[in-house]
Structure 1
């Protein structure tokens, strides 16, 4: 009775992605402990599937990977049900949510341990300690409760990614046929998700990555990444890649080396980057990246207001002027820049909050003027518990509080918070939220995302015609006619639903 059940809660309603986080954990214990995976995206009733496994009496450990937002809807009630029926099961959570909200998770009473960041070493060491009745006080990256107090063990140095065991794709294929993980997207007919690095070397105060990785980044070498990509292509027929790294393009040398290796594989791909990092790339490097199949790159523009960028602690050299200039530069390489903006950051007065929102709305329109192909993703600022961050201290001073219980996180209001759409922050009025969302509706009407492959040319022309006048005269209130079309056509927002 020491088998391990690994659970990936549902994160999307339609697009299924390879559960890379859970696969990393599976790889770390493969050959030492028997394991199974339950993927909430592929199960009609994952709770019953999990309970059936546990009823066999063979499974002692249950690992969850939990991101903020949709995954909590399955993770919380299933964890509760498991502990009610199988009290002896040891439950271990990993992922951004428990790492950043360890107290509320452990106070729930049904989660026993948290893996704080990478679990490649921590998870198997914890199982070994529990199996052999050994102490776990010195296992790095572990959070747990002792004598009613939360204990956070020291963080581990980031692991050499090339030294990690390969992901067990073939075994995953036995549980869930891989072809359903290779979906049709804007990038290709059979797109797969992949992580080639962990962390990010910057300390943006609004980013949930910062408290976990502490401005550290570690990547697989270009050759290892290429070998993995080729394996998925040759064995399962993949023709496109979504690199879900927090920052794929940290190293120009690595990006170009990978591009040179993959360019003859006829694959299309997407990744995330920083504007001020890639703006330093040589033209030849950007050309090589595009030639290798890179079609879209996601950039955290965040704001065109230099004061707000400083408040966010973006680090580096990013500025409003650079954001505009780089969008224009990308036209030369036929790479679509996907810019995200975070509106609604705190300010000393409501008037200043509104001014910042209006500034960035006008700034986004400037970006669109210099490069209409730029994809725009709009979030509303949602605090993350970055200890020591001036911005986080500011939001606490203004009366913001996270939910007191784990169950509160799955209320509709807090799910909207996690999706960064309606964050319930005290400095934002309903009118301000409406201003942001209504502008987003009009913007997406005039410039429907190219990644929504279900929208045909006729639909695009119709909604653009309807939105054009509103956009031109800055009339964003009550765009019900645009919302109706978007609802009828099930318009896809990449920041919520992916490609």
Structure 2
């Protein structure tokens, strides 16, 4: 038996270590590592569980290494890009400290590339797709002293090659055990966000549904969940959120669902439950632009009354041809109608857009950066309490637009290690997004439009005191530039960036 195959014999071991690497480089808001908490839930009571979050756990590396002696395995969760790099770095340390301990990868990227991931020396087994049942069966196989030959939904290394087992049928989310928040350092994550991101309220995340019925060509959810959406029963959502709020003294809950508003009846029952339980919280959730504005007025009123502070809308584009290219299933008019609904019911909106979608070499894009900025101005004219974020297109593996990007010349990474250096923003700049366009987005979307159409927060923040008159001056200049589209010689922008010393983030 090869040394690598010996890793599958973990008889007598009783500890499971789960590691969540930092998902992105730089400064950003910490969201709870619910991905590793969910797979830990079925193991609780049978195994000693150690959950380590690189962003939150003090001395995270030693916390992993000192728990290897009795470990069945180490699980690593990852999306594409920087999180792989951090996961590989930890796997390398594990290999040097305890070469007999198997390493199991899970998450979006390994699920989309199980064979390629298993080919890396950093990996022995891949947990594909939903991980709670699969990971438990992998653990049971290892503690029985054998490779996961009979485990559905996994891939594993053998001397003869990578074996990919039959897929595991999707499990209804109501059959998934509740996430053990107590295994995560929730209070520390909240504290870090309040300190590092200057948040004034106690906020954390809750996952109430999985999948999405949409067929957006850039989204990996359609590949993993086959366009199926399932949501936790409303009663369970109300019960678990109420307990979460009271346990951690929360002011706000962010639903991390891809499509929270997919079922209007469920949303209505959740809102009624929050109100009946007397929850005085704010909550934020994501919606599709083609569904939210069609909600019944009485349900929209309940959404507002129950504390919905903001709806995150994946608009992506205002161009008909682009929306058709990406199979969005929504129109620019849907975006405008959603903005009006948010305004009429006193709900904030965060509309996300994507620039740099692939197009054939030598042909102009269907939508320019200026087109996008002009449309964003329309949204802010409708409802100043709309925030907008513009992302550079990320060709996500397993999606139709990823395949199109490769067809149009994008170099495809061929190993887990190459994926670790995958930076779509850098890769796409030279091909579909020019550097000056990124600068324009930062300048106009991040500064001029928020000041031209200030949100209620900004108006209150600058209503009095020494900031009042500078704000009025900048507001007037920004409004004039937004209406004329003239953004050259941006002295006020340069001064603002200098004043903020390069750390400015949109505050609209």
- TM-score category by the smaller chain? 0.7 to 0.9
> What is aligned with 2:228?
216
Aligned equivalents of 1:61, 1:451: Cα separation in 2: 51
Helix, strand or coil for the counterpart of 1:6?
strand
Deviation at 1:335, TM superposition (A): 0.8
- What are the Cα deviations for residues 181-212 of structure 1, in whole angstroms up to 9, with x where unaligned? 88588997221211111111122111122221
Give, in angstroms, the shift of residue 103 of structure 1: 4.7
For residue 37 of structure 1, the aligned residue among 51, 54, 59 is 51
How many Å apart are 1:465 and its aligned residue?
4.9
Residue by residue over 1:247-267, the C-alpha shift from the partner in whole angstroms, topping out at 9 and shown as x without a partner, is 111100000100000022111
1:19 equivalent in alignment to 2:33: yes
Which residue, out of 294, 308, 332, partners 2:322?
Answer: 308
> 2: distance between equivalents of 1:432 and 1:364?
15
| Structure 1 range deviating more: 402-411 or 182-191 | 182-191
Shift of 1:492: 3.2
Change in 2 beyond 3 A, CA 1:437/1:423? farther
Q: Could you say which residue in structure 1 is the equivalent of 2:349?
A: 337
SS at match of 2:151: coil
What does residue 50 of structure 1 align with? 64
1:142/1:448 Cα in 2 relative to 1: closer, same or farther (>3 Å)?
Answer: farther
Distance change in 2, residues 1:193/1:138 (3 Å): same
**How far does residue 352 in structure 1 lie from its aligned partner after superposition?**
2.0
Q: Tell me the equivalent position of 2:125.
A: 113
2:496 matches 1:485: yes
Provide the C-alpha distance between the structure 1 equivalents of 2:491 and 2:347, rounded to a whole number of angstroms. Answer: 33
C-alpha displacement at 1:356, in angstroms?
3.8
The yes-or-no answer on 1:471 pairing with 2:482 is yes
Residue 170 of structure 2 is aligned to residue 165 of structure 1: no
Q: How does 1:335-484 map to 2 (within 5 A)?
A: 335-353=347-365, 355-386=367-398, 389=400, 391-411=401-421, 414-415=422-423, 417=424, 423-424=428-429, 426-443=431-448, 446=451, 456-457=461-462, 458=467, 464-465=475-476, 467-476=478-487, 479=490, 481-482=492-493
Q: 1:145 to 1:434 in 2, by over 3 A?
A: farther
- Write the mapping of 1:216-295 to structure 2, written as runs, cut at 5 A: 216-263=228-275, 264-295=278-309
- CA distance in 2 between partners of 1:446 and 1:158 (Å): 46
Q: What whole-Å deviation, never above 9, does each CA across 1:345-365 have from its counterpart, x for those lacking one?
A: 122355521744333222222
**Contact kept? 2:452, 2:482, Cα under 8 Å:** no
Please say if residues 380 and 386 of structure 2, whose CA atoms lie closer than 8 Å, have aligned partners that are also in contact: yes
- TM-superposed CA distance for 1:482, in Å, is 2.4
SS in 1 for 2:364: helix
Larger Rg: 2
Is the 1:445–1:463 Cα contact (8 Å) retained in structure 2? no
Contact 2:286–2:312, Cα closer than 8 Å, also in 1 = yes
Aligned partners of 2:368, 2:410: CA distance in 1, in Å?
20
The alpha-carbon deviation at position 11 of structure 1 amounts to 4.3
1:210–1:349 distance in 2 versus 1, CA, 3 Å: same
Q: Alignment partner of 1:5: what SS?
A: strand
SS of corresponding position for 1:143: strand
Which deviates further from its counterpart, 9-18 or 216-225?
9-18
**Among candidates 90, 111, 132, match of residue 78 of structure 1:** 90
Q: What is the CA distance between 1:452 and its match in structure 2?
A: 9.1
The 2-side partners of 1:456 and 1:297 are apart by 22
1:69: how far off? Answer: 4.8
Q: For the residues of structure 2 that align with 1:464 and 1:299, how far apart are their CA atoms?
A: 26
Secondary structure at 1:75 match in 2 = helix
Please show how residues 114-153 of structure 1 align to structure 2 within 5 Å: 114-134=126-146, 136-146=148-158, 149-153=161-165
Contact 2:452 2:479 in 1 (8 A): no
Q: Tell me the CA shift for residue 102 of structure 1.
A: 3.6
TM-score, scaled to structure 2: 0.85
Of 179-188 and 215-224, deviating more is 179-188
Q: Please, which of 69, 74, 89 is the counterpart of residue 62 of structure 1?
A: 74
TM-score by length of structure 1 reads 0.86
Pair 1:244–1:460, CA change in 2 (3 A)? farther
| CA separation of 1:440 and 1:406: change in aligned 2, threshold 3 A | farther
Q: Distance between the aligned counterparts of 2:397 and 2:416, measured in 1?
A: 16
**Cα distance, 1:39–1:123 mapped onto 2, change above 3 Å:** same
CA distance in 2, matches of 1:168, 1:409: 31
> Which secondary structure does the structure 2 equivalent of 1:367 belong to?
helix
After TM superposition, the structure 1 stretch with the greater mean CA deviation from structure 2, 62-71 or 207-216, is 62-71
User: Quick one: distance in 1 between partners of 2:257 and 2:243?
Assistant: 19
Q: Distance in 2 between matches of 1:191 and 1:182?
A: 9
Q: Which runs of 5+ in 2 are unaligned?
A: 1-12
The Cα RMSD (Å) is 3.2
Distance 2:379 2:119 in 1: 46
